[in-house]
Amino acid sequence: MVLDQAQSDNGMARVKRDEFESALFELIEGWLGEAPIDVVACGMVGARQGWVEAPYSAVPCDPTPVAPFRVPDTDPRIRAFVVPGLKQMLPPDVMRGEETQISGFLSSRPNWDGVICLPGTHTKWVQVSASEVVSFRTFMTGEMFDLLRGQSVLKHSVSDGWDDAAFAEAAADALSKPEQLAARLFGLRAADLLQGQDGGVAKAQLSGFLIGAELAATRPYWLGQQLAIVGADDLSDIYAKALKQQGAFVETANSTQCTLTGLMQARKLARQTA
């Protein structure tokens, strides 16, 4: 049960290796008493530049095959743990954080077989069989969207707003002609200059071109497969729309909820092995 929550923008990019504990205490110090409290974390906090390096587990394996790493030498008011990520040697790929979401998603679905899509900055497509992560593939789709929207020439032509039909058309176009991506992108600028195209339509098209290209690449992952999307609700909806348009059957689950469930399981594992 969530009793309280707190968040901050002090992520990996802003916090130095020896500042993680103080960044955490800024958020949770008011929650602490005399008895030590368990803190269980996942994601980039376990990277080499993170709080404590938690070496990857190699797939195929259970999403959380080993107990979380204990962070040494913390303040005595906490016992802190970090969940290790997963690595795949061929083709090389890595994840940190998604393994916890996958573990949370699978906890209420014993014997689930299928594919989980985790959309985000670096979208993951994960093949699951017999409760194991068999293989996975990461796409830089979200990061490309952010860069193109915020830092490229398209920033002059893409604004807030949205258009469902424009998204659907762009996604279908990219699914059939993914190689045209770089031309379609400049087309958004030209359509603004020559036709005064609406910036919200352009935003939906930008998203559609990038997600459509990703779906062209992941066709073997979603075509005829049991498929679940684990992500933020808005983004999951967008992926689900594009996939349903292609006839795929999609279940969605909220990623925050899956993370919390996964962290609770990781805490159990930590206490069993402590």
Binding letters toward a second copy, positions 205-234, x by CB under 8 A: -----x--xx-xx-----------------
In whole angstroms, give the CA distance from residue 45 to residue 12. Answer: 7
Looking at residue 273, its amino acid is T
> Residue count at the site for a second copy (CB under 8 A)?
42
Q: Is 196 in the site for a second copy (CB under 8 A)?
A: no
**Residue 119 preceded by cis peptide, ω within 30:** no
Residue number with CB closer to a second copy (85 or 262): 85
Q: Is 272 in the site for a second copy (CB under 8 A)?
A: no
Is 182 a binding residue for a second copy by CB under 8 A? The answer is yes
* Structure-block tokens of residue 230: 């684990």
Residues 134-153, one symbol each (x = binds a second copy by CB under 8 A, - = not), give ---xxxxx-xx--xx--xxx
Among 27, 37, 130, 190, binds a second copy (CB under 8 A): 190
Residue 80 CB, shortest distance to a second copy, in Å, is 23
Helices (H), strands (E): how many in the chain?
9, 11
Sign of CA dihedral 40, 66, 98, 260: negative
Tell me phi and psi for residue 252, to 5 degrees: -120, 150
Sign of the four-CA dihedral 109, 110, 115, 118: positive
Least gap, CB of 221 to a second copy (angstroms): 11
Which residue is associated with the tokens 């999307």?
229
> Which listed range, 22-30, 60-68, 106-114, 185-193, lies at the site for a second copy (CB under 8 A)?
185-193
Q: How far is the CB of 89 from a second copy (least distance, A)?
A: 7
What is the residue-wise DSSP string for 192-220?
Answer: HHHH---HHHHHHHHHHHHHHHHHHHTHH
Q: Give the nearer residue to a second copy in terms of CB position, either 89 or 165.
A: 89
How many whole angstroms separate alpha carbon 205 and alpha carbon 166?
6
Q: Which helix (H) or strand (E) holds 134?
A: strand 132-139
What is the x/- site pattern for a second copy, positions 65-104, by CB under 8 A?
----------------------xxx-xxxx----------
Interface map 160-179 toward a second copy (x if CB under 8 A): -----------------xxx
Q: With respect to a second copy, which residue has the nearer C-beta, 151 or 272? A: 151
Q: Are 143 and 151 in contact (CB under 8 A)?
A: no
Provide the minimum distance between the beta carbon of 16 and a second copy in the complex, in angstroms, as a whole number. 16
The residues near 163 (Cβ < 8 Å, ≥ 6 apart) are 198, 200, 201, 204
Among 129, 131, 180, 254, the residue binding a second copy under the rule CB under 8 A is 180
Residues interacting with a second copy, by CB under 8 A? 87-89, 91-94, 122-123, 137-141, 143-144, 147-148, 151-153, 177-183, 185-187, 189-191, 193-195, 210, 213-214, 216-217
